[in-house]
């Protein structure tokens, strides 16, 4: 019950915490890319953009002094984190069921330059050999698995915020 009281008493603090969580995940992703040397696949890049959008929505909502701003922010966080969870779940599925032919496709920016957007989006979600590779794990989970957990946690927190603030 103590945790639920935070949704009533300190919604701005929770939104700021959500933003900080996303920024921490993004910083860790950049660390893995630039220090450890892991190259992100197209699905990883899409998840990074989703994390960035959630961080922006949560940060702007945390700065809002009004309840309406918190609620709009929670809805945007819910939609964006739902999309991020979908992409992370799809990548996790590809990691558990890799395609029979492992070919490393183009990176996301190469696809955007070479093809129109209506062809790029299905190509990203189809995945390629590099999207099914597991290069890093923590407690048995890949980056995609942990991204899914974070996105689901953010979505649940935004639903709780909406439900608790709706009744006020």
Rounded to two decimals, what is the model's pTM? 0.73
Average pLDDT, the chain: 77
47 neighbors 26 (Cβ within 8 angstroms) = no
Domain range list for the chain: 2-166
Reported CATH class of domain 2-166: mainly alpha
pLDDT the model gives residue 148: 92
Greatest mean pLDDT range, 55-59, 89-93, 139-143: 55-59
Whole-number pLDDT of residue 54: 93
Residue 21 and residue 150 in contact, taking contact as beta carbons nearer than 8 Å: yes
pLDDT band of 120, cuts 50, 70, 90: low
Task: Check residue 90 and give its pLDDT.
Answer: 85
pLDDT score at 73: 87
- pLDDT 10s digits, 58-106: 988 888 888 777 888 889 999 999 999 998 888 888 777 766 655 545 5
Residues 1-34 have pLDDT tens digits of 556 666 667 777 888 888 998 999 889 888 878 8
Residue 129 has pLDDT above 50, yes or no: no
Average pLDDT over every residue of 132-141: 64
Counting Cα atoms < 13 Å in the Cβ hemisphere of 151 gives 27
Q: How far is CA 142 from CA 95, 132, 157, 166, in A?
A: 9, 10, 23, 36
**Average of pLDDT values for 130-150?**
73
pLDDT at 118: 66
Q: Calculate mean pLDDT across residues 142-167.
A: 84
**Rounded to whole angstroms, how far apart are CA atoms 113 and 33?**
22
């Amino acid at each position: 019950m103590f945790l639920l009281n935070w949704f009533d008493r300190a919604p701005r603090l929770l939104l700021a915490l959500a933003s900080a969580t996303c920024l921490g995940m993004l910083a860790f992703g950049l660390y893995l890319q630039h220090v450890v040397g892991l190259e992100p696949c197209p699905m990883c890049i899409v998840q990074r953009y989703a994390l960035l959008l959630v961080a922006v929505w949560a940060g702007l909502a945390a700065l809002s002094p009004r309840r309406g701003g918190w609620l709009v922010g929670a809805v945007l966080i819910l939609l964006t984190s739902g999309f991020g969870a979908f992409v992370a779940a799809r990548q996790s599925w590809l990691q558990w069921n890799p395609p029979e032919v492992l070919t490393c496709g183009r990176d996301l920016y190469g696809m955007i330059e070479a093809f129109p957007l209506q062809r790029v989006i299905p190509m990203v979600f189809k995945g390629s050999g590099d999207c099914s590779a597991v290069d890093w794990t923590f407690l048995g989970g890949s980056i995609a698995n942990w991204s899914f957990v974070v996105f689901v946690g953010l979505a649940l927190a935004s639903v709780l915020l909406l439900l608790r603030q709706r009744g006020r």
